[in-house]
A and B are shown apart, each in its own frame.
Chain A
């Protein structure tokens, strides 16, 4: 079974600064996807960024980027120029193909990020 570990229950960052959220995972699979989701107090889970395991290049989406270390099974999220709207729970998630066109997401317990004005 796959597991996802987020070792930082809470973090804070000053507005406009940079913060990195950590995630490690455990799997014996070679082909899989990793995601970061954001869940603000409104509770809508929003996809922030995705990474395919077969791609060596780290994914980037505007102010969000990842550091994907496949051998170390590490997948951290860097948020640059932090904004007040980035305040939310951030979940790291893993998925692999489960057959019959099916994927299921395995989530970590989340990191609560607070951006301080």
Chain B
């Protein structure tokens, strides 16, 4: 049973650039959520996608955007990168209507 996968594992970008992170949900799951985890902190909710639409959004600026594809995989895009965007980005998948989320291994983004 394939779990949640994310790519790339690590990424280094320069301030002002744009980045795209990718996530494939656990087999059978249809909902994808994205979280940002700064060093030494708990994850913070960015947004959640179901049926290719953003269903919920946390307190993040419009520079953070996403997409969900018909096969339920998802992308997280961040524009105009800031140093403060350096973090571990976690993707989690679930079945719609289920509170239980399963996480991928994360993408470590470093902005210099």
Contact = CB atoms under 8 A, between A and B. Distances in A.
Interface of A: 4, 32-33, 35, 37, 42-47, 50, 91, 93, 95-110
Interface SS majority for chain A:
strand
Interface residues of B, number: 30
B58 A104 contact: yes
Given A43-B106, A104-B56, 7 more contacts: A35-B100, A98-B55, A100-B55, A102-B50, A102-B56, A105-B43, A107-B43
A21 to B, nearest CB: 14
B70 to A, nearest CB: 18
Interface of B: 31, 33, 35, 40-45, 48, 50, 55-56, 58, 88, 90, 92, 94, 96-106, 108
A110 B103 contact: no
A50 B98 CA distance: 12
B42 A100 contact: no
A103 B99 contact: yes
Contacts of A91: 42-43
